Structure 1
Amino acid sequence: MIHETLNVSDSKNSSATLTTYILQNYPKFSAERLRPLVLVIPGGGYSHYGQREQEAIAIKMNSLGFHAAILHYTLAPMRFPQALCDAANAVALIRKNAGSWNVDSNKIILAGFSAGGHLSSLLGCFWNSQFLKDYISCTSEEIRPNFLCLSYPVVTADEKFCHEGSIQNIIGSIPEEEAAKICKSLGKNSMREVVSIEKNISSDFPPAFIWHTLKDEAVPAKNTILLANALYEKGIDCEYHLFNRGKHALALASAETANPDGSNAESECTVWPELFKNWFEGIPNS
């Protein structure tokens, strides 16, 4: 296994890192094998990183045959779109190393949890936008996520349904002049519209696997209902699972990522990694 931590950007505004979990090929029978890579993007409301949404997820993805990596992106206080630039640069770094890591560069999957799901979706929305080109030096194809795996993601900035802390942490520090420039570039009336995923879905958005729970107390299920509906309207490949039981931030939903008292384990939700793999492998040419 290639297990190392790399700097994502040389920008003084970013301390983002990428930690790899790259599976070994076997010279006698799989020397040329290319695997898809799952880039794990933990949640935490853009204020911290959810500990249970990191290595346990990467190792689970390894067990299903995927390379994996974990992105630690810029947290609040940040200047938008720094975290988005971190995600874009991380994808570009993976593509740059695809040859030496035996990664299929057409099968890079962003697996985002909660706020990490929001960040993954932002890149899904804007990887091919002129707006993002103004902030990074990579080409659109270098930063393109091929697929998304979204676990209880923050989606909307609608005040009735949003996770307000996440929204404030990602846009709260942006100067008014910069916000106006971004809104004009994207044809939006406010930064809340800019970071509302469901308002920015285009035909460029990647195919997405999404799961959530009806009993999520922090990020209402309406977030993913809005997203799934927006993807349906645009004809984007999407598989959506809404489980009945389960708190927010279940991670694997198993004993592996449960709290010491056993909470945050929900047996009906433990199937999501296998459901994701089945969905991914069922997509033509995936």
Structure 2
Amino acid sequence: MNPNEQTIKITSPQVDEYEDIVYSQIKESWNTRELKMSLLVPRTDNLKPAILYFPGGGFTTSNYHKFIQLRLALAKAGMVVASAQYRHIPDKFPCLIEDAKKALVYLKNNSANYHIDTNKIAVIGDSAGGYLAQLMGVTSNSTHFLPTETTAEISKVAAVVSLYGISDLSTIGGTKNPPVFHKGTSSPEALLIHGIGAQNSSLTINDSPEKAKKASPTSYVTNNLPPFLLLHGSADTLVSPEQSQHMYEALYKKNVDASYITVNGAGHGTAEWYQDSIINEIRDWLLLKLS
């Protein structure tokens, strides 16, 4: 017997990547903007759950190639994982949630190409992406922010995961001694709802409470929502842990299946979020909810 022979045990499927798929075209004044997504697809023929990931970026970027550790772990567990770009500042709300809905529509309309079980599509995001995932969850199977010529049913998602996400635009920095930055006219949340221009650039988030409310996930919490997993770092000074706590409390009051995990000592997008313990927690929760 050759002493160098090895037997390899297969524990996860091969994963194929489909890069930079155009899922939406936005007609602008003088051009057409393409919005893209990338997919990680386990090479199996069975119907698979899918995860739609929205990257964070302070409402100013949407780098859909980030968080590869988490995305690959989910794909190796047998889930199709899509990562979607979306419009951001200088574009105003509700552009980004309209894009998120279109990304979901693309997955459902092309489910046969990737062997996706359309009844088992979850959304996940970090920071501003967590905000989008929450907003997708609370408006699931509703007429809010629907793309044209679609029905509420196509906006339905099966589960929601938010990592240090935003639930209330008016209190991102918390209700007790929030950073001055969030109160200013140049804060991302202010620019998101007011836009950029001579008139709008002098407005803070609190100058239009109705606009802030309309753009906040907590405003749409009702019963019969999909299950939520909310994670936040105890040392997050950019997006207050109160954001996840208050969302959890709102969901709990409506008897929604919700879990809230505080990661002790973790900050905003710090190294803790890329460790196996966190990734495995998210993976196992999704496998349970999408089984």
TM bin (shorter chain): 0.7 to 0.9
Q: Give 1:213's match in structure 2, choosing from 233, 236, 250.
A: 233
TM-score by length of 2: 0.78
**CA deviation map 1:181-210 (0-9, x unaligned):** xxxxxxx96011112222220124321111
Q: Give 1:192's match in structure 2, choosing from 212, 215, 220.
A: 212
Q: Call closer, same or farther: CA 1:49–1:189 in 2, change over 3 Å.
A: closer
**CA deviation map 1:78-101 (0-9, x unaligned):** 132111111000001001111120
Partner of 2:7: none
User: Quick check: which has more Rg, 1 or 2?
Assistant: 2
Inter-partner Cα distance in structure 2 for 1:131 and 1:143: 9
Q: Which runs of 5+ in 1 are unaligned?
A: 26-30, 176-187, 255-266
| Structural mapping, 1:78-97, within 5 Å | 78-97=91-110
- Does residue 55 (structure 1) correspond to residue 68 (structure 2)? The answer is yes
| Structural mapping, 1:172-251, within 5 Å | 172-173=194-195, 190-250=210-270
- Does residue 7 (structure 1) correspond to residue 22 (structure 2)? The answer is yes
Partner of 2:81: 68
1:220 counterpart SS class: coil
**CA deviation map 1:68-87 (0-9, x unaligned):** 11111012111321111110
Asked if the contact 2:142/2:153 (under 8 Å) is kept, the reply is: no
Q: Give 1:109's match in structure 2, choosing from 122, 125, 134.
A: 122
**CA deviation map 1:47-84 (0-9, x unaligned):** 01368844333212212222111111012111321111
- Does residue 167 (structure 1) correspond to residue 189 (structure 2)? The answer is yes
Q: CA RMSD in A?
A: 2.6
Inter-partner Cα distance in structure 2 for 1:22 and 1:82: 28
| Structural mapping, 1:244-259, within 5 Å | 244-250=264-270, 253-254=273-274
**Equivalent residue letter for 2:166:** V
Q: Call closer, same or farther: CA 1:249–1:234 in 2, change over 3 Å.
A: same
**CA deviation map 1:149-173 (0-9, x unaligned):** 1111011123462884342242122
Runs of 4+ in 1 over 6 A off after TM superposition: none
Q: Call closer, same or farther: CA 1:166–1:200 in 2, change over 3 Å.
A: farther
| Residues matched between the structures, number | 252
Partner of 1:264: none
Q: Call closer, same or farther: CA 1:50–1:101 in 2, change over 3 Å.
A: closer
Inter-partner Cα distance in structure 1 for 2:244 and 2:96: 21
| Structural mapping, 1:134-149, within 5 Å | 135-149=147-161
Aligned-pair CA distance for 1:11: 2.4
Asked if the contact 1:211/1:272 (under 8 Å) is kept, the reply is: no
Partner of 1:21: 40
**Equivalent residue letter for 2:39:** T
1:132 counterpart SS class: coil
1:10 counterpart SS class: strand
Partner of 1:257: none
